[in-house]
A = this chain, B = another copy of it.
Amino acid sequence: MTVTAPQGFEAAGVAVGLKPTGKPDVAVVVNRGPRKVGAAVFTTNRAKANPIIWSQQVIADRVVEAIVLNSGGANCFTGPFGFQTSHLTAEKAAALLEVSAGDVLVCSTGLIGTGDEVFRGKVLEGVEQGVAALSADGGPSAAEAIMTTDTVAKTGAVSRDGWTIGGMAKGAGMLAPGLATMLVVLTTDADLDAAEADAALRRATGVTFDRLDSDGCMSTNDQVTLLANGASGIRPDMDDFVDALTGLCHELASKLQQDAEGASHDITIEVTGAATEAEAVEVGRSVARNNLFKAAIFGNDPNWGRVLAAIGTTAAQFDPYDVDVSMNGVRVCTAGGPDRPREEVDLTPRATHLEIDLKTGEATATILTNDLTHDYVHENSTYAS
């Protein structure tokens, strides 16, 4: 149920000491063809890690043979030496696989500023071991090797009409728009051309990973990649394919949300009645990023005033005195005033549902976020040490 679920993909995860725990830390995913179609979306952070700078060049021709991913170091802000490391990583994999280095993507995750000679040596060792260990059932070990603060490996797969899509994801903090601190690899044996793969990936990520905003912080290293090899011999109906891909991305995004660092609530913010979808997203994000709201949810406090205060900071069309807010099904605010008493709202379940009706138009959007907890502060105050 992961990247090796579709036909024609092999993967491996190996341990080379990048993680002090000795757990797997380098993953390799290879597309055995027949087609070698690749599509990718990257962090929109202007401060990009070296593997992102490298991979953006690789993806230009939309041909991808393989991906090398490492945890235990982000190789970001590590200068020309760090860029050379990403380049050498691709070259080493290419030599072993007898393909072009220009068709090998590289992803890294871990502490920013980590990318010295020791790091390089271990990553290159990981490529060697990883390529040697490639197998058609190596997906689970690859998913394990990309974990950082994740507590569980995140994988999934979906099959329809003779073709399959598989995927793996990592990410537990710094989950925000323009992707999160997430690395995601999606594979399919459906027969897609490059333009179809690119369009499908953008449609699916636009309403899933791009709407996960755990802590408002945007990573330097995010990458979501789709590899398509046509091994099933079947050209899917594109709407059907996008639907399946979106479903899988939603499943993986939900798994990221559920494993967000220190979180005790998974909050689904459903905005309805917006003038445009973009405004619905803006409103949902403003609430998702409001520390006071997030801390209140942690305290099981249905503080709807903080929701309205957050909406008030947006440029969306709405009348503050005609907004309805419900929490876990209880209408706590009607037309900008108090409705049901806060005592009726049960916020003890982890799954939390916030509904905001702007009563302006017909557009909707759903944003996924988490609460702000002691454990979030603790994990992120000690990450580097």
CB distance from A213 to the nearest CB of B (A): 12
Q: Within the complex, which residue of B308, B342, B377 is in contact with A374, where a contact is CB–CB below 8 Å?
A: B377
CB nearest neighbor in B for A372: B377
Bound-state CA distance A27–B290 (Å) is: 30
Residues of A within 8 A of B (CB): 45-48, 74, 76-79, 111-113, 173-174, 215-220, 289-292, 295-296, 298-299, 301, 303-306, 308-314, 320-321, 333, 336-338, 342, 372-374, 376-378, 380-385
A309 adjacent to B220 (CB under 8 Å): yes
Bound-state CA distance A376–B381 (Å) is: 14
Q: Within the complex, which residue of B113, B291, B311 is in contact with A338, where a contact is CB–CB below 8 Å?
A: B113
Q: A217-B309, A218-B313, A219-B309 are in contact. Are A376 and B47 (CB under 8 A)?
A: no
CB nearest neighbor in B for A76: B305
Chain A interface helix/strand/loop/mixed: loop
Residue from A47, A174, A374, A384 with most neighbouring chain B CB atoms (10 Å): A47
Q: A77-B305, A79-B337 are in contact. Are A313 and B45 (CB under 8 A)?
A: yes
Q: A174-B292, A292-B174, A305-B113 are in contact. Are A79 and B46 (CB under 8 A)?
A: no
Q: A48-B312, A338-B77 are in contact. Are A292 and B112 (CB under 8 A)?
A: no
CB distance from A185 to the nearest CB of B (A): 22
B296 adjacent to A383 (CB under 8 Å): yes
Bound-state CA distance A374–B292 (Å) is: 13
Bound-state CA distance A219–B308 (Å) is: 10
A333 adjacent to B77 (CB under 8 Å): yes
Q: Mind listing 22 A-B residue pairs with CB under 8 Å?
A: A46-B313, A46-B320, A48-B320, A77-B336, A77-B338, A78-B337, A79-B337, A112-B305, A112-B306, A113-B305, A173-B292, A174-B309, A215-B291, A216-B289, A217-B290, A218-B312, A219-B309, A220-B305, A220-B309, A295-B380, A299-B385, A301-B382
- State the 4 A-B residue pairs at the shortest beta-carbon distance, nearest first: A112-B305, A299-B381, A47-B312, A295-B380
Bound-state CA distance A155–B107 (Å) is: 53
Known: A48-B320, A77-B336. 20 other contacts (CB 8 A): A45-B309, A46-B312, A46-B314, A74-B305, A77-B305, A112-B303, A113-B338, A173-B292, A174-B309, A215-B292, A217-B290, A217-B292, A217-B310, A219-B309, A298-B377, A299-B385, A301-B382, A303-B384, A374-B377, A376-B377
B217 adjacent to A380 (CB under 8 Å): no
B380 adjacent to A312 (CB under 8 Å): no
